[in-house]
């Protein structure tokens, strides 16, 4: 017997990766220090040094989330892994789930909950809209959900959703509050314990500036009580928190058993990115993102562009949305900036496609000099791309 399929010609060529300014909603550029951490030697995922690194990651996440939750860990997977983990573990088939949808992330959670057999109810607004506490309370009273989902950093719309008071409402109606902070963590103020968020997750590739592929998540005691007293097993083996809590040394058992092989390099990089945030300080990071965002917003308005979120207090500092300027084809503007400036911005996502162009300046990328680069690229694109419509 011999091989009949030859080595593919592409595999005999060197790997090519361009250097690009990643000024979209993520992944963001990874600083040399984090890249170097990810390039350290691989060790076994069950070696004692790795357990120490995982323990450090837990502490780093507790700081970034502002939580004392013991049940804190990083998922092996992107933000979607954390999203599925939260829903799969705290909801059982047939239970009621309330999802606020004002962009793509609520749409995703509604679909995930539906796929695992939950009774899904949605509160819906167009991208850019947000939900008042009165609207949320009315829906909690009506649908009596076990879980309410809200996106803090709605990257598809550029909205930072208010959180205060919602945790209290969820407690009043005996419901868990699940918050997505993938696009906002480290960039906009969020205090898990003080704001009574029961489950919070984020991604590695936004303001944390680690490579995509790991996702911090934390569950408080209310969430643990629900997920560890369920009658049925979660639909996913990989995301089953009974196993993951053992893998992360959170279940009090003397030994951590083999469950899956975690992304070792990804965890090394994540530890470094959490260390950078700890050194800088959360409040400094929030202030810095706000200042650079305000500088960018002013520059965009000076170019004659309109910001999609009118109320400054509701704008996400990490991802800014610009209303597509009259007459232009948004795809042409984006393609021009990639081609002539090696600079990525993106269009909308889900319901905001065709409505906005998105600029992200997150963590390492967050500086006024990068804002200037983004503004110069946009201004150049507006000059050189043809107007298609009157």
Secondary structure of residue 271 in the 3-state scheme: helix
Q: How far is the CB of 183 from ligand GLV (least distance, A)?
A: 6
149 φ, ψ (degrees, to nearest 5):
-110, 135
For ligand GLV, the closer of residues 61 and 316 by Cβ is 316
374: tokens are 């983004």
Residue nearest to ligand GLV (CB): 155
For ligand GLV, the closer of residues 155 and 250 by Cβ is 155
Evaluate whether 386 touches 49 at the Cβ level (below 8 Å).
no
For ligand GLV, the closer of residues 155 and 285 by Cβ is 155
* Euclidean distance between CA atoms 313 and 295, whole angstroms: 15
**What sign has the CA pseudo-torsion 273, 245, 93, 67?**
negative
For ligand GLV, the closer of residues 67 and 155 by Cβ is 155
In angstroms, the Cα distances linking 187 to 80, 305, 344 are 20, 23, 20
Q: How far is the CB of 26 from ligand GLV (least distance, A)?
A: 5
Q: How far is the CB of 261 from ligand GLV (least distance, A)?
A: 25
For ligand GLV, the closer of residues 154 and 272 by Cβ is 154
Q: List the end-to-end C-alpha distance of the chain, in Å, as a whole number.
A: 66
DSSP state of 351: G
Cα angle 225, 256, 61 (rounded to 5 degrees) comes to 60
- HEC states along 16-42? CCCCCEECCCCCCCCCHHHHHHHCCCC
Residues binding ligand GLV (CB under 6 A)? 25-26, 155-156, 183, 349
Evaluate whether 270 touches 35 at the Cβ level (below 8 Å).
no
**What sign has the CA pseudo-torsion 168, 170, 172, 174?**
negative
For ligand GLV, the closer of residues 157 and 178 by Cβ is 157
Q: How far is the CB of 127 from ligand GLV (least distance, A)?
A: 12
Whether 358 has a binding-site annotation, put simply, is yes
For ligand GLV, the closer of residues 250 and 320 by Cβ is 320
Q: How far is the CB of 156 from ligand GLV (least distance, A)?
A: 6
* Euclidean distance between CA atoms 62 and 68, whole angstroms: 6
* Euclidean distance between CA atoms 228 and 12, whole angstroms: 50
Q: How far is the CB of 216 from ligand GLV (least distance, A)?
A: 15
Q: How far is the CB of 215 from ligand GLV (least distance, A)?
A: 12
**Element of type H or E holding 55:** helix 48-65
From the annotation, which residues make up the binding site?
A: 358
From the annotation, which residues make up the binding site for substrate?
A: 358
């Amino acid at each position: 017997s011999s091989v009949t399929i030859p080595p593919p010609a592409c595999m005999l060529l060197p790997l090519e990766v361009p250097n690009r300014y990643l000024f979209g909603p993520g992944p963001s550029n990874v600083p040399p220090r984090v890249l170097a951490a990810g390039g350290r030697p691989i060790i076994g995922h069950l070696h004692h040094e790795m357990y120490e690194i995982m323990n450090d990651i837990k502490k780093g996440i507790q700081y970034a989330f502002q939580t004392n939750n013991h049940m804190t860990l990083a998922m092996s997977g992107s933000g979607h892994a954390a999203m599925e983990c939260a829903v799969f573990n705290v909801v059982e088939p047939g239970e009621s789930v309330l999802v606020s949808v004002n962009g793509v992330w609520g749409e995703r959670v509604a679909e995930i909950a539906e796929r695992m057999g939950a009774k899904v109810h949605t509160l819906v607004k167009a991208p850019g809209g947000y939900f008042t506490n009165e609207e949320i309370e009315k829906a909690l009273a009506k649908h009596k959900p076990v879980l309410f989902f809200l996106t803090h950093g709605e990257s598809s719309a550029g909205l930072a959703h208010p959180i205060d008071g919602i945790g209290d409402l969820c407690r009043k109606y005996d419901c868990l509050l699940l918050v997505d902070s993938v696009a906002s963590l480290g960039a906009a103020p969020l205090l898990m314990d003080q704001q009574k968020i029961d489950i919070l997750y984020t991604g590695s590739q936004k303001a944390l500036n680690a490579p995509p592929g790991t996702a911090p998540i934390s569950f408080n005691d209310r969430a643990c009580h629900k997920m560890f007293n369920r009658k049925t097993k979660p639909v996913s083996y990989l995301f089953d928190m009974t196993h993951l809590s053992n893998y992360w040394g959170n279940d009090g058992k003397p030994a951590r058993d083999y469950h899956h092989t975690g992304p070792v390099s990804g965890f090394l990089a994540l530890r470094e990115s959490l260390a950078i945030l700890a050194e800088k300080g959360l409040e400094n990071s929030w202030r810095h993102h706000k200042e650079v965002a305000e500088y960018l917003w002013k520059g965009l308005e000076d170019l004659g562009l309109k910001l999609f979120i009118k109320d400054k207090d509701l704008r996400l500092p990490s991802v800014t949305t610009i209303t597509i300027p009259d007459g232009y084809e948004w795809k042409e503007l984006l393609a021009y900036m990639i081609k002539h400036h090696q600079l990525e911005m993106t269009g909308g996502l889900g319901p905001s496609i065709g409505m906005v162009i998105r600029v992200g300046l997150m963590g390492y990328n967050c500086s006024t000099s990068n804002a200037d680069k983004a503004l110069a690229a946009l201004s150049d694109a507006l000059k050189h791309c043809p107007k298609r419509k009157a």
